[in-house]
Amino acid sequence: MRGGTSKGPFFLESDLPAEPAARDRMLLAIMGSPDRRQIDGMGGAHPLTSKVGIVRKSHTRGVDLDFLFAQLQPDKDTVDTTPNCGNMLAAVVPFALERGLVVAQGDTSTFRVLTLNTDMQCDITVRTPVSADGSRYVTYAGEGRIDGVPGTAAPVTIDFLDTAGSVAPGLLPTGKILDVIDGVAVTCIDNGMPLVIFKAADVGRTGYETVTELNADTELKVRVERLRIAAGHAMGLGDVTQMNYPKMTLISAPRNGGTISTRSFIPHVCHDAIGVLAAVTVGTACALEGSICDGVAVTPDGLAGKVSVEHATGEFSVELATEFAPGQPGGRRVNKAALLRTARLLMRGEVMVPTPQSMPKG
């Protein structure tokens, strides 16, 4: 399935080993990791195409589906099920409809999904028109357009219900809206994805560099990783050296009519766009007084209803519902975040798994 600007194989939980270590060994073999080309597996030689979705009918009251996201890396033997992925989340309901876990409800179908990684719930709505034989099906054709994906597709609407402190201990895990870590002013924030946000100018960059330029900038990447490790401790995440979070987000003033411009490291490769939950978290920082975004972001009247997050290949719009929260750092509380993604079924079939003797150890 393609979900947003990511893609990867989706599995029914019942089709994978129940024991986590055995499951992870199988996923590594399926994706072809560790190998930077992933030549012996289904991975796409990039973190955005080294992702896996695992879905089941939910056991939680009021929830329709459970989703476990797994992030693999091309050149590492790690399977990280700690963070969430909002892009892959967009493909969960289409996959569930294709596999018969849920039944279409009408012209549109909304199902509540629990992400097991972060214990976060959201409502996902997809289009389910009537076919010639009178049955309903999930359609992928439509006018929805997202930057980073060619063409158009049926829109998938995601309403996040509670994203604050998804992995880190709270929305502002350091307890402050602004910190100075390793000599750099930053906002450490987690409203769906742990981020360290800082001004590109504070590390000697414009923030308008291309992805290719940033990925080739070894000096910057070393500097950003040092900051990331220090910030991980400050955020209560411990030693994040081997973790895929926090993500690192450089900000600068918008150039194309948006709210803010970003370049996002995930965490060691610069993203061609920006992750769904990273965009939600950046948008949240734009709504908080005194954050690193204050004075950089362009927000009418200081309010962040619709936040347009510019990135290297376009923009990502997030709808935020906020309320005043006197006494809290930043002075606001985000009650709801909604956004639009697209998804598509790419193929269905069988993936061949090597014999146990030849599978990766670990």
Tens of pLDDT, residues 213-227: 999 999 999 999 999
Instruction: From residue 111, give the alpha-carbon distance in Å to each of 12, 92, 160, 294.
Output: 17, 10, 12, 36
Write out the two tokens for 356.
């146990």
pLDDT confidence bin for 154, thresholds 50/70/90: very high
Over the stretch 78-137, which tens digit does the pLDDT of each residue have?
999 998 999 999 999 999 999 999 999 999 999 999 999 999 999 999 999 999 999 999
Interatomic CA distance for residues 222 and 220, integer angstroms: 5
Mean pLDDT value of segment 166-182: 95
CATH number of the domain enclosing 71:
3.10.310.10
Same domain, 328 and 228: yes
Could you tell me what percent of the chain has a pLDDT over 90?
A: 85
Same domain, 109 and 202: no
Domain assignment present for residue 189? The answer is yes
Interatomic CA distance for residues 227 and 247, integer angstroms: 11
Same domain, 305 and 184: yes
Give 67's strand partners.
55, 115
Q: Which domain holds residue 72?
A: 2-140+345-358
Domain count, the chain: 2
Domain assignment present for residue 172? The answer is no
Domain assignment present for residue 166? The answer is no
Same domain, 309 and 353: no
Same domain, 189 and 313: yes
Domain assignment present for residue 279? The answer is yes
Number of C-alpha atoms within 13 angstroms, CB side, residue 239? Answer: 2
Same domain, 242 and 101: no
Same domain, 220 and 123: no
